Structure 1
Amino acid sequence: MDEQQGRRFGGPPMWWRHGPPWWNRWDDEEHAPRLPWRSTLLITAFVMAGSNFAAEGQGGHREHLDPFARVLLLVASGLLLWRKRYPVAVVFGTSVAATLYLGAGYPYGPVFLAVAVACFNAILTGHRKAAWAAVGVFWAGHALVAHWLYRWLPPSGDPAAPWGQEGVIAAWVAAILAVSELARTRREQWAKERAERAQAARRRADEERLRIARELHDVLAHSISVINVQAGVGLALLDTDLEQARTALTTIKAQSKEALGEVRQVLDTLRTPGDAPRAPAPGLDRLPELVEQAASAGLTVEVEGEPPRLAPGTDLAAFRIVQEALTNVVRHSGSRHARVYLDHDDRTTLRLRIDDDGPATGADAGGSGNGLAGMRERAAALGGTIEAGPRADGGFRVLAVLPLQAPAGEPNSDVKEDR
């Protein structure tokens, strides 16, 4: 409900409210902040009882508490019941009631507590200007009564208040405002820290989802590409060469079994993130197995060079990069021959180069174009780079440069044992 509707139906303007709009429906108690009954009753009881004691101690100098004084005390403290819903109205109402109380010559006392609580609440809820204005009105009103209007106000014959007393009241007001501002600052800092922790948790969750998506993409893209090729071979030879068709089906069965095992491993780490994986993550030590899989899909792969000792994260990334590059050759290249080169410089950098002779066929076995992006993300996460594109003499090249050691703070950054 907007401000005009609030005035039309008798409710206060919406800017007097505190909190988000769904909290501030003045005609719907279910969505409004809960009323602080207990604290308000305690404050009211303290103000009423404390004012009686203050009246006894100041009986010769201030007016006795009469019904009007008690009504003002009850209003000043009772308004605090609505301080969560109407912080601006409450802080002004409490200040006006306290000003009338002191202006009528009643004893100084716990009525200041009601003003302090209302001011504190208004500042905490973000209504700083209203709180400062209300307290300023209260202090100005008291100064006006104590130094000018005292001649016409009770108690009769009361002299002007000493300026030292005015300084004490000013210091009291400044202390209230300072404590309120300090509490507001601390509250904002806590809220900011909670928001930063939540954002960091969401970022970690996003990174984990991206990692799992990369793993699933690399596993499934490679395996399904091999299965697709072998299924085509099996269908073509089913009526002419049963033995070759049987070999293709055997390859499909083995490849699908391996893919299911790797997918299960990834899902197991997702379900139980605190446990160690049941099987070691693949690395460059499985290159011969990768070459055999590529051969079953009709691709001859030559490997040159020996892989150095690698951190587990780097080893997995290197294996997935080679796997994805060979998968792209199977799916998108007319060449049936690929070469994998491994080299490392000064035991600090690993260079992977995967070449094929092309040409590109333009065929797409259901790919989504995420292969190269996934390779670049893996390399970037380790501080490495990926370059991919056509070669000058034809074909396609993927060049990966990876650090031998994982960056500090990366999980599983320990170097693998010698194979």
Structure 2
Amino acid sequence: MERFRRYAGDVALAVAVAAMLAVQAVRIADSWGGTYWVVDVVAGAAVCGTVLLRRRGPASTVLGLAVAAATVGAAAYAGLPREPSPAMALSLAVLAAAAVLRRPVRPALGTAGAAVAIIAASWLTGLASGSTAVPAIGALLLGVALAVALPLRLLAARRRATADAVRREERLELARELHDVVAHHVTGIVVTAQAAHIAARRDPALVDDALTDIETAGAEALTAIRRVVGLLRDAADAPSARTEDLRELVTRFAERGPTVRLTLPDGEPDAATSATVYRIVQEALTNVARHAPRATAVTVTVTRDRRGLTVEVTDDAAPARTRRHPGGYGLVGMRERVEALGGTLSAGPRTGAGWSVVATLPAQDPA
């Protein structure tokens, strides 16, 4: 359909220019006599031909502008009928509009500027002889074409920018989801495997329990990844992260790590807030398992007031050099999630010992 419309426009332009050239030839023959009309028809047809070939490359555009400029100069020098004629001006207008719509900025400005210069030169040469009607028609056609093409180009650029922003946000969301899911479960597998090595030296019988835990964590990781894939395929399949999911997360962590004390407010927040709370707690617990292996207790506190929710995750691990300057994608992902809801995030060492992650999430207006 797009190809049909494109070539239908070319056919319409060719028919319109042919009709205009025929009318111009008759009028010139009546008023000027002889074969003065030949130059007008040939030059007008040549410029129209370069317009029809514009998709083959910039050479046709340059050729069309050159023919038009040469014709205007020759007409003024030799005393021929004023150029560009309405037919040629229509072709120039289409050529300039097409460049503004499709070409990069510099070629588009160059083409439009050259077309304006050609019309202006015709106008200036016509002032000397008092004949400005033909340049006025050309200026009108070119002005209308550019007035239509420029807003369309700006609209297309805005749409591209919007699409790029949406794609970037989708990539960031995918990166956050994959990091949150994979890092959490894989960290659990690594910690369990490390514990299995220690247990094997003490009591080989404990290895079976560790292998069972690893198998369970691996199965959970596969399930979580499938949920992420489902989210990518259909947003309606997005996994929920309600209070029970958060309790289950904390329970799984406590089975393989330090004890966790969980405090939650009554009621359920909205879906976006609850999902963000879940990811904050998940990432914070993952960081405890990864960077604070000597932690003995973790506290997860979620409180609500009229301003919104506050999420705080703390541990009692001794200060470690690797935790003084937190980095990586986990903290970045947490901060992006929180800031997307208009909240703030802070993470750093506590006074004395331990680490603290605090996120404030403002109350969300009901949809």
TM-score of the two chains, using structure 2 as the length reference: 0.79
Correspondence 1:2-151 to 2 at 5 A: 39=13, 43=17, 46-48=20-22, 50-52=24-26, 55=29, 58=30, 62-66=31-35, 69-80=36-47, 81-82=49-50, 84-99=61-76, 103=79, 112-121=85-94, 123-124=96-97, 125=99, 126=109, 127-142=111-126, 144-145=128-129
Conserved? CA contact 1:337–1:357, under 8 Å:
yes
State the Cα distance separating 1:86 from its structure 2 match: 2.3
Q: In the TM superposition, what whole-angstrom CA distance separates every residue of 1:287-309 from its partner, at most 9, and x where no partner exists?
A: 33122212222311011243542
SS at match of 1:370: helix
Correspondence 1:359-374 to 2 at 5 A: 359-361=318-320, 369-374=328-333
**1:331 aligned onto 2:308:** no
State the Cα distance separating 1:389 from its structure 2 match: 0.6
Task: Flag the 1:98–1:42 CA change in 2: closer, same or farther, 3 A.
Answer: farther
Equivalent position to 1:351, from 297, 301, 310: 310
Task: Flag the 1:247–1:362 CA change in 2: closer, same or farther, 3 A.
Answer: farther
Conserved? CA contact 1:308–1:344, under 8 Å:
no
SS at match of 2:239: coil
Work out the CA distance in 1 between the residues paired with 2:288 and 2:204.
27
Conserved? CA contact 1:73–1:97, under 8 Å:
no
**1:340 aligned onto 2:309:** no
Q: What amino acid does structure 2 have at the position aligned with 1:312? A: A
**1:228 aligned onto 2:186:** no
State the Cα distance separating 1:131 from its structure 2 match: 3.4
Q: Of the two, which has the highest radius of gyration?
A: 1
Work out the CA distance in 1 between the residues paired with 2:19 and 2:143.
27
In the alignment, what sits opposite 1:176? 138
CA RMSD in angstroms, aligned pairs only: 3.1
Task: Flag the 1:172–1:205 CA change in 2: closer, same or farther, 3 A.
Answer: same
Q: Which has more helix, going by share of residues?
A: 2
Ranges in structure 2 where 5+ consecutive residues have no aligned partner? 1-9, 52-60, 100-108
Conserved? CA contact 2:254–2:260, under 8 Å:
yes
Q: What amino acid does structure 1 have at the position aligned with 2:253? A: A
Work out the CA distance in 1 between the residues paired with 2:16 and 2:262.
82
In the alignment, what sits opposite 1:290? 249
Equivalent position to 1:244, from 190, 206, 210: 206
Conserved? CA contact 1:226–1:293, under 8 Å:
no
Work out the CA distance in 2 between the residues paired with 1:82 and 1:280.
57
In the alignment, what sits opposite 1:377? 336
Correspondence 1:248-327 to 2 at 5 A: 248-270=210-232, 272-273=233-234, 276-277=236-237, 280-327=239-286
State the Cα distance separating 1:122 from its structure 2 match: 6.0
Task: Flag the 1:280–1:307 CA change in 2: closer, same or farther, 3 A.
Answer: farther
Conserved? CA contact 1:98–1:112, under 8 Å:
no
TM-score of the two chains, using structure 1 as the length reference: 0.70
Ranges in structure 1 where 5+ consecutive residues have no aligned partner? 1-35, 146-165, 408-412, 415-419
State the Cα distance separating 1:317 from its structure 2 match: 0.7
Work out the CA distance in 2 between the residues paired with 1:344 and 1:399.
13
State the Cα distance separating 1:188 from its structure 2 match: 1.8
Work out the CA distance in 2 between the residues paired with 1:178 and 1:226.
72
Report how many residues are paired.
Answer: 334
In the alignment, what sits opposite 2:152? 190
State the Cα distance separating 1:186 from its structure 2 match: 2.3
Identity %: 31
